[in-house]
Homo-oligomer: A and B are copies of this chain.
Amino acid sequence: MDPYEPLPSHRFSFGLWTVGNAGRDQFGEPTRHPVDPCDSVRRLGELGVYGVSLHDNDLVPIDASPAERDLLFRRFRMALEHSGLRVTMVTSNLFSHAVFKDGAFTSNDSMVRRFAIQKSMRSIDLAADLGASVYVLWGGREGTEVEAAKPTLDALDRYKEALDFLCEYVHDRGYEIRLAIEPKPNEPRGDIFLPTVGHALAFINRLEHPEMVGVNPEVAHETMAGLNFGHAVAQALWAEKLFHIDLNSQRIGRFDQDLRFGQENLKEAFLLVRLLENAGYDGPRNFDAHALRVEDENGVWDFAKGCMRTYLLLADRVRSFESDSRVIEAIGATGASDLGRPTVGTYTRETAGALASEEFDLEALAARGYANERLDQLLIEHLLGV
């Protein structure tokens, strides 16, 4: 049996919009046909996938009649049942329709803001109907190209107001749903509010129900700004706020590429898998990426299989790395285990006094090597499967 064969127990999920991506981009028309969500579900089920995530409008067009909505919904539930997949996450599309061009929760038009909250309530209902436990908010249109036209302090007030309202709604309806903010630095707006995992975590702390809201970091988004994604995910874990995660790959300083997991930055991907597996993250490993525009339908499934296979290969490399005695010894030489021990402990006047008069041999401390090159070379070799 192939040890890298995906199984539902691996908890892989795909957005409907990922395998359904038709290849349209800023400069070109679609290269693939639209895909029926039910077909995607069926096919993903065959591949060993655990779940699907979706925007409301991946399933039901924004202008569908109630009857159409019900029909689409019924067909989709059936497809889920047949495939054995569950819906792991739902989100609301607050960015495609022209109505959101100036923002959704932070549009300068209060009617648009009201519509955005209404649409979100309905998407939360959908999440509850479909059994999703996470509801993601990506504020792709919340931002500016012209700062003078949108006072940031007011925008943050409105953003908070919307999330506070939605938290109360979830609570009032008795839903078992947690919210997760997905940060992104820019694109489609010149500058998006809550541009990084850090800004989102800081924002959450000012909400009325911070305990209900976490983050959904995406590899490509932090990477666009050249930030270290592993550090960001670790800080989210440290704050107990990693509610969901979007996996893909990306080059720094480029448009949003949404590449196959592992296509770029294999080492960062390895370190990310290591972090998630070692931290016991038990949410879905959600792929938010799409096949390259040059692919036909076969390429879409090559892409999907590749995402999962690379994750499993890297998880395997992580295990070999962790258990290699040379690695254990090399980690020891870096002093990393010492970092797990308190430096001074809790403050007392006595510990402070003792520390104040402690003497240090700076030259000796400065002479110590931390052996990072050696450990990193071992890591590279494990990655290369040597």
> A161 to B309, alpha carbons, bound, how many Å?
40
Contacts A152-B230, A255-B187, A317-B384; A109 near B368 (Cβ below 8 A): yes
CB distance from A156 to the nearest CB of B (A): 5
Interface centre among A23, A97, A148, A155 (most CB of B within 10 A): A148
Q: Which of B149, B152, B168 contacts A334 (CB 8 A)?
A: B149
Contact assessment for A100 and B259 in the assembled complex, using a CB-CB cutoff below 8 Å:
no
A370 touches B102 (CB 8 A): yes
Q: Complex formed: what's the CA distance from A259 to B99 in Å? A: 21
List residues 235-261 of chain A with CB under 8 A from any CB of chain B: 235, 237-239, 251-257, 259-260
Residues A380 and B263 in contact in the complex (CB < 8 Å), given A29-B97, A162-B343, A225-B226: yes
Residue A172 CB within 8 A of the other chain: yes
In the complex, A67 has a CB within 8 A of chain B:
no
Question: Is there a chain B Cβ closer than 8 Å to A1's Cβ?
Answer: no
Q: Which one, A46-54, A70-78, A347-355, is touching chain B? A: A347-355
Do A118 and B358 have beta carbons less than 8 Å apart? yes
Is residue A7 within 8 Å, beta carbon to beta carbon, of the partner chain? no
A108 to B336 alpha-carbon distance, docked (Å)? 6
Chain B residues with CB under 8 Å of A341's CB are: 110
6 closest A-B pairs (Cβ-Cβ)?
Answer: A385-B385, A296-B369, A198-B199, A198-B198, A108-B335, A201-B202
19 sample A-B contacts, Cβ–Cβ < 8 Å, listed by A number: A97-B366, A101-B366, A102-B294, A109-B368, A110-B338, A114-B344, A145-B257, A146-B376, A149-B336, A151-B340, A154-B336, A165-B352, A205-B205, A251-B252, A252-B253, A298-B369, A299-B371, A302-B371, A302-B377
